Amino acid sequence: MGNPQDTLENLPLTSDVVVVGGGNAAFSAAHAAAERGRKVIMLEKSSEELAGGNSYYTAGATRIVHNGLNDLKGLIEEDERHTRTTVPPYSAEEYLGDLEKLTQGRNDPELSRVLVEEGQETLRWLNKLGLKYRLMYERQAYTNPDGTYLFWGGVHVGNVGGGEGLVKDHTNVARRFGVDIRYSHEATELLVENGRVVGVKGTTHGSPFEVRAESTVLAAGGFESNPEMREKYLGEGWARAKVRGTPNNQGTMLNAALGIGAAKAGDWNSAHSVQWDAYYPDNESNYELTNRLTRQGYFLGILVNNEGERFLDEGEDFRNYTYAKYGKVVLNQPDSIAFQIYDSKVRPLLRAEEYDMPGISLATADTIEDIALKIGVPVEHLTRTVAAYNSGINTDRSFDPTVKDGKWSSTAPPKSNWSSPLDTAPYYAYPVTCGITFTFGGLKTDTFGRVQDERGNHIPGLYAAGEMLGGLFSNNYPGGSGLAAGAVFGRRAGTVA
């Protein structure tokens, strides 16, 4: 007979698969397992009202290989603009080259190969299940004078409704499959018996719980929301970074896995971080504004620190290839503050969703001197910086934001592309700081997410996906490849769990 004190509430839950996390990778794993007839329990640390992990805070951009607009038919929703739209092909060779270039060759070649080869097919699988995709006109295309549209930068497809739509669609699919989603359930420990992971322990509303399962999939994010871990692994000053996404990614399950012998993989000393509104009152984990606090038009203007000096090449490459590493550069400036400066010629090219949002931090003026006074930088420094930038611009190239136009400025540091003189009032200055998105270090796995120990052996019963899977990114990443990786490797883990 059982203990008479036992109740249905405190007996362990049982399942074939337990998935820890509530974002894109977690859902992809849950769908794949449930599709095979497995009983699945998902543990989401947040309440239902604040669920979705970092995925909710994204724009939904997903980088996949394709051969142009016709190749995307059947995946993306129809749009009357398609007949006037050019979507350049994005090849597997380009994708692999971008991964290797941006990570400085530190990307795992097998994980990269799987990501590239299976990205589009995985999105089509999700689309058939109920996720909706579209072309991202407002983020990845420019309108030509003749009313046609040209896409650029390698990432063209995104979720209908952005991150919010992504999580809503995933949740509907999971419920249709009968996945048991447990909100406000924080997993804190792994259950191990005879060397095998047999589930997790945690708390819900202050009470302990336990889930026992044949397979445990960890998709609970990195440690970007934990200032102590940021300082330990990313370095001094990272505690000052603003958390863009969920506040729940504290690294708890990463530490739990390391504690039972899992090996680290990937770059634990770098992270995805962006330029982020510095002075907006609620500029961390803003569930309403999500990604609208990013400021990604920097390549169209100049970026100066609070001494009025430029400190990086704003036009080094397309925004999709530089934005995730420039947050760190801003973090390292005095007071971790910088200012994006534009004139009225390029201001209309800035994304409305980011630069026209209510309450945005902004200074405007009719002269560079007055802009300097308004943002509190030395007037003589900023006027000298702007003069050097303007005088160094080559005049034998035309400004064209749809290509790397080679319109450079020879000022120091140089600006390699998209150099348009700051000479037409009014002028606009947007204060930015570092907003951290996710950390690149994770657990060592094979290509199906099987977590490995230091000897390369699979820890039975344990899998990882999403930000917890290490090895894909280092220092930087190609925009849109994070959601793609979450879907691809989440699905793979779910097919074998």
pLDDT for 290-328, tens place per residue?
999 999 999 999 999 999 999 999 999 999 999 999 999
* DSSP letters for 372-423: HHHHT--HHHHHHHHHHHHHTB-SSS---TTS-----B-SSS-B-S----S-
Give the pairing type, strands 85-86 and 196-204: unpaired
Burial of 352 by CB count in 10 Å (0-12 exposed, 13-18 middle, 19+ buried)? Answer: exposed
Q: Which of 104, 110, 164, 166 has its CA nearest to residue 133?
A: 166
What pLDDT digit, counting tens, does each position of 448-473 carry? Answer: 999 999 999 999 999 999 999 999 99
What pLDDT digit, counting tens, does each position of 426-438 carry? Answer: 999 999 999 999 9
pLDDT of residue 166: 98
Decide if pLDDT at 7 tops 70. no
Q: Which of 270, 274, 241, 301 has its CA nearest to residue 430?
A: 301
Decide if pLDDT at 124 tops 70. yes
Decide if pLDDT at 400 tops 70. yes
The CATH number of 14-223+440-496 is which of 3.40.1190.20, 1.10.3720.10, 3.50.50.60, 3.30.390.10? Answer: 3.50.50.60
Query: Would you place residue 11 in the very low, low, confident or very high pLDDT band (cuts 50, 70, 90)?
Result: low
State the Cα–Cα distance between residues 225 and 230, nearest whole angstrom.
8
Give the pairing type, strands 157-159 and 149-151: unpaired
| DSSP H or E segment with residue 15 | strand 13-20
Q: How many residues does the chain have?
A: 497
- At which residue do the structure tokens 């977690």 appear? 26
Which tokens belong to 68? 């142009």
Cβ atoms 311, 270 nearer than 8 A: no
CA atoms within 13 A on the CB side of 299: 25
Q: Where in the chain is the domain with CATH 3.90.700.10?
A: 272-436
State the Cα–Cα distance between residues 354 and 426, nearest whole angstrom.
19
Query: Would you place residue 5 in the very low, low, confident or very high pLDDT band (cuts 50, 70, 90)?
Result: very low
pLDDT of residue 419: 98
State the Cα–Cα distance between residues 2 and 5, nearest whole angstrom.
8
Decide if pLDDT at 228 tops 60. yes
What pLDDT digit, counting tens, does each position of 127-181 carry? Answer: 999 999 999 999 999 998 899 999 999 999 999 999 999 999 999 999 999 999 9
Say which range, 67-71, 399-403, 408-412, has the weakest mean pLDDT.
399-403
pLDDT of residue 12: 80
Q: Where in the chain is the domain with CATH 3.50.50.60?
A: 14-223+440-496
Decide if pLDDT at 26 tops 60. yes
pLDDT of residue 79: 97
- At which residue do the structure tokens 């606009």 appear? 428
Decide if pLDDT at 6 tops 60. no
Q: Which architecture does CATH list for 272-436?
A: Alpha-Beta Complex (3.90)
Decide if pLDDT at 10 tops 70. no
What pLDDT digit, counting tens, does each position of 47-61 carry? Answer: 999 999 999 999 999
What pLDDT digit, counting tens, does each position of 176-223 carry? Answer: 999 999 999 999 999 999 999 999 999 999 999 999 999 999 999 999
What pLDDT digit, counting tens, does each position of 230-277 carry? Answer: 999 999 999 999 999 999 999 999 999 999 999 999 999 999 999 999
- Nearest-10 Cα torsion for 455, 457, 463, 467: 30
CA atoms within 13 A on the CB side of 278: 21
The rounded percent of the chain whose pLDDT value lies above 90 is 97
What pLDDT digit, counting tens, does each position of 274-290 carry? Answer: 999 999 999 999 999 99
Task: Please give the angle made by the CA atoms of 3, 6 and 12, to the nearest 5 degrees.
Answer: 115
| Residue 323, phi-psi category: left (phi > 0), alpha (psi -120 to 50), beta (remainder) | alpha
pLDDT of residue 139: 92
Decide if pLDDT at 2 tops 50. no
The residue ranking higher by pLDDT, 145 or 405, is: 405
What pLDDT digit, counting tens, does each position of 330-347 carry? Answer: 999 999 999 999 999 999
